[in-house]
Chains A and B, each alone.
Chain A
Amino acid sequence: MRRLFISMTILILFLILFLPFLSIVLGAFDQGADAFLVALQRPESLHALKVSFIIVMIVVVINTIIGILLSIEMIRGTWISRWLRPLINVLVDLPFAVSPIIGGLMIILLFGPNTVMGMFFENAGIKIVFALPGMVLATIFVTFPLVIREIVPILEELGMTYEEASASLGAGPLRTFFLVTWPSIRWAIYNGIILTIARSVGEFGAVLVVSGNILNQTQTATTLVYQDSVDFNMIAAYSVALLLGLFSITVLLILDWLKKRKEDQLNAH
């Protein structure tokens, strides 16, 4: 029984997870390592990777800062009345419930060329849809809950005792934050940041809709993979896909390490 169950699990996971991954590894090296490297160094690959990198950087900075501030206010803010708190909770989770394609549609409906806001920014000389700002907005929308969802449970568990003690001993809010709150939520924030990086690198649907997928301009790594696979330019698709796949595995390893660290910390107390 035991042996049967274990082998069944391994077989299922082998079929669902391992075999698909293996197929792109084989695909990428189908015509040798040289073809793989050449495909990776095409100007459009390099440009797409650069665009992805810029988006990730901006999104991580904004999401982390807003995420920390919003989580603290959500838990500690006495100004939020009781009926409003569950509502804010649901609002924060909303991007999880929305298809990425719809996330992109939202940005187009709000900032598209025929809308009030779109025209306002157009007159100011800022293009949002089919340009970088729209792609950043779409990615922020999709990754918005990740940091908050990591911090909120930790803050709830922590309670206010330490912060009150710090404040009553005369520390200002900034000092209290950096010396008392920050050390306890630090690892949760790192976890949230890693998740945000993974999700923003991988975001596809929302970015595809908003960016218009213009070659060498608004094409990201994931939309390039999509474009290459649709065009049956397989080696090119595999090479960038494999790079992204290896990146995802690195992310998993880091998350695993963070989790182990957290467990060790819990055991140490």
Chain B
Amino acid sequence: MKELSSRLALRSILVSYLFILVIMPISAVYLKGFSLGWDPFWKEITGIIAWKAIILTLKLSILTTFIQAFLGTFIAFVLVRYKFWGRRWLNSLIDLPFSLPTAVSGLMLLTLLGPTSPFGKWLESFGISLLYNESAIVIGMIFITLPFVIRTVQPMIEQLDPFEEQASFILGAGKAFTFFKITLPAVFPGIIAGSMLTFSRSLAEFGAISLISGNLPGKTQVASVYIYGEIENYNTQGAAAVSVVLITFSLVVLLLANFLQKWKGRTI
């Protein structure tokens, strides 16, 4: 009897912990965003600066996702299929953007792309500036999300059945044909799942981007920086309204990724 009641107590503690830590905070944002009704919410997010920040974030996140889908798949293949000196070392380095504080990542990119560094000077001599503009934001997003696609595609390539590719070769298919018809379709669910994580992380990123984007309202200000500005200006309702848009987007993407992973598990 005593054991039963202690179990019950533990369960209620865990459930209330989950409630207080996750459910309540998220509902608080939605409630605050809609606290004055639909019209003020709509007015907040369609305000010219907020709207431009949301559109800019979505646009650059989609661009980053596409770049990362190609880049990540390519790097994953090279790291799994080719044995070369330093491979193991490179492979562990991939996770660096995860373990690095985002403020430090931002400072690194700020320094590297800035006019005082040799690299920045070299770029400047070609008239290229990669700081305080949209390309800076994309560079920041790519740095932060580098591991996602690589880390989801890598295990799928490792688990690939080598006989399928061999069969394709034996039947006379070329390397490229085999890759696009046999290998790529097999790892495609991994690419999609990794890309969705990339997209959701790009939408959310603040630390790295706020240092290198220049944060020009309406031009290079992303949504998370806009939210931060509104909090600082005590406009929590406006901050919450834009947050609702961001959370809803990431939530849908996260659910899709979850669903895809389940669906992938069922087919294997």
Please report A residues at the B interface, Cβ cutoff 8 Å: 2, 5-6, 8-10, 12-13, 16-21, 23-24, 27, 66, 69-70, 73, 77, 79, 88-110, 112, 140-141, 144, 173, 198, 201-205, 208-209, 221-223, 225-226, 229-230, 234, 237-238, 241, 244-245, 248-249, 251-253, 255-256
Contact = CB atoms under 8 A, between A and B. Distances in A.
Contact of A204 (B11, B26, B82, B206): B206
Contacts of A106: 25-26, 28-29
B51 interface: no
B95 interface: yes
A252 B92 contact: yes
Contacts of B77: 5
Contacts of A203: 101
Given A9-B75, A238-B107, A90 B96 contact: no
B102 to A, nearest CB: 5
A229 B224 contact: no
B146 A17 contact: yes
Interface string B217-233: 00000001001100100
Contacts of B84: 6
Contact of A24 (B108, B203, B206, B246): B108
Contacts of B74: 5, 8-9
A64 B96 CA distance: 23
9 contacts: A23-B111, A91-B23, A97-B204, A99-B203, A99-B246, A103-B25, A110-B28, A244-B101, A252-B96
Interface in B145-188: 146
Nearest to B57: A99
Interface string B1-29: 00100000011001001100111111011
Nearest to A237: B107
Contacts, number: 234
Contact of A110 (B25, B110, B250, B253): B25
A99 B224 contact: yes
A249 B82 contact: no
A218 to B, nearest CB: 15
Contacts of B246: 99, 102
